[in-house]
């Protein structure tokens, strides 16, 4: 469905979530004819041999044709592709793994809250903000790793040439539990009420702002718990309001697919695809993946704004107007304009999503300060502490 289809709904609610409609989408079969460059279709997912893709993309025309095929797969097809042997040099992957292991050990020794989005804190070994940590720690290994042509091929296809990469390391240890099924960033990190507050065209827009990916840093047989997917689920329009509902969770649990991966394989998928990291049932496999979240360059404002200075100036006015009888809606509208209402990007080491899917935004803090009538000095101190937590 396009962003402007005639007759499409302007707003979505949980009442729009219908399991039978969902089933009609996700129970369709992936057509091999739509994926002529793939080696085959396994469990409804097209598998691409990266060596063949390198041959096919040797000319500008060939590269564009392959990218068009990848876009169709991610948007209108199963919503997921596997690029086998995306990283052909095992030494490159191993050097990155060694850097990640060292970071894990250092951060484990340092302690602190290790929040997670869709799993219990502490269940996995996480490295937040791994992109800059690896670059500073091992710049040569970083350069060799991120020079990968398959990452560039699919990221450019989905987002265009000015994409922005972030990376989080996730190690699921033997016995590690599965994640809960979810959709991902952006709307997937909002509560039901927050997501429903965005119009339907934003629900259709959100998935094209981000590309999700994962690089296997070890062989991942099924018993090690590679990610669970539900192909074609990204096409379900009210899916950001459906993934928490018990009937959809149960359907996912009964019908997901799970593909084994080899070290150096990469998976890329539409962030609206229903998915969850699997349970590690192995006895001795530390399942390490580099989770790549690649963002559109267009999700940014034109001007930089000193919002802390704005809050410092306007907050006493809000307190005075509240005392004079200004209503909550009036106060909320002013806070929305002057304060940063989105908690990302942030430094998840210092600002983890403990107690929710996302840390509080600057606007959340200001709203709390208005409601509780903080002294301006206290709010100023809290905002400065929040800004410090968000720094890399």
Task: Indicate the domain borders of the chain.
Answer: 14-295, 307-390
Q: Read off the pLDDT of residues 285-322 as tens digits, 9 standing for 90 and up.
A: 999 999 999 999 998 878 888 999 999 999 999 999 99
| C-alpha to C-alpha distance for 328 and 41, rounded to whole angstroms | 54
Instruction: Give buried/exposed letters for 178-211 (b at 16+ CB in 10 A, else e).
Output: bbebbbbbbbbbbeeeebbebebbebbebbbbbb
Output the pTM of the full model: 0.90
pLDDT at 5 over 60: no
Q: Tell me the pLDDT of the chain averaged across its residues.
A: 93
**pLDDT band with cut points at 50, 70 and 90 for residue 84:** very high
Give 280: exposed, middle or buried? Use CB within 10 Å, 0-12, 13-18, 19+. buried
Rounded to whole angstroms, the maximal C-alpha distance in the chain is 71
Q: Which CATH class is domain 14-295?
A: mainly beta
d(CA 319, CA 325): 10
- Measured distance CA(24)–CA(5) in Å, rounded: 20
Q: With H, G, I as helix, E, B as strand and everything else as coil, classify residue 377.
A: helix
210 three-state secondary structure: strand
Distance, CA of 17 to CA of 237 (rounded, Å): 9
Which token pair is 314?
């306007």
Q: What is the pLDDT of residue 357?
A: 86
- pLDDT of 339 > 50? The answer is yes
pLDDT digits (tens, 9 = 90+) for 204-219: 999 999 999 999 999 9
């Amino acid at each position: 469905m396009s962003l402007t289809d005639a007759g499409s709904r302007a707003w979505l609610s949980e009442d729009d979530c219908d399991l039978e409609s969902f089933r009609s989408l996700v129970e369709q079969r992936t057509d091999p004819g739509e994926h002529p460059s793939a080696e085959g279709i396994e469990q409804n997912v097209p598998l691409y041999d990266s060596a063949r893709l390198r041959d096919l993309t040797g000319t500008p025309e060939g590269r564009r044709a392959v990218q068009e095929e990848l876009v169709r797969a991610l948007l209108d097809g199963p919503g997921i592709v596997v690029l086998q042997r995306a990283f052909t040099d095992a030494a490159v992957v191993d050097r990155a793994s060694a850097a990640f292991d060292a970071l894990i050990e250092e951060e484990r020794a340092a302690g602190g809250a290790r929040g997670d989005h869709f799993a219990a804190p502490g269940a996995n070994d996480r490295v937040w903000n791994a992109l800059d940590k690896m670059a500073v720690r091992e710049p040569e290994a970083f350069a060799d790793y991120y020079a990968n042509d398959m990452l560039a091929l699919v990221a450019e296809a989905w987002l265009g040439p000015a994409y922005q990469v972030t990376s989080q390391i996730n190690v699921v240890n033997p016995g590690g539990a599965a994640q809960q099924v979810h959709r991902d960033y952006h709307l997937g990190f909002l509560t039901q009420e927050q997501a429903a507050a965005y119009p339907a065209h934003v629900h259709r827009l959100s998935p094209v702002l981000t590309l999700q990916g994962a690089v296997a840093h070890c062989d991942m047989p099924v018993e090690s718990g590679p990610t669970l997917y539900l192909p074609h689920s990204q096409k379900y329009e009210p899916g950001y309001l459906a993934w928490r509902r018990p009937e959809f969770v149960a359907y996912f649990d009964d019908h997901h697919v799970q593909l084994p991966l080899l070290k150096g394989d990469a998976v890329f998928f539409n962030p609206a695809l229903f998915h969850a990291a699997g349970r590690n049932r192995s006895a001795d496999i530390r399942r390490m993946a580099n989770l790549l979240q690649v963002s559109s360059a267009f999700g940014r404002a034109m001007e930089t704004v000193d919002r802390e200075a704005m809050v410092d100036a306007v907050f006493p006015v809000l307190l005075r107007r509240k005392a004079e009888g200004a209503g909550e809606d009036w106060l909320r509208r002013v806070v929305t304009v002057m304060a940063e209402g989105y908690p990302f990007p942030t430094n998840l080491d210092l600002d983890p999503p403990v107690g929710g899917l996302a840390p509080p935004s600057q606007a959340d803090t200001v709203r709390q300060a208005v409601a509780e009538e903080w002294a301006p000095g206290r709010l100023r101190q809290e905002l400065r502490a929040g800004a410090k937590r968000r720094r890399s």
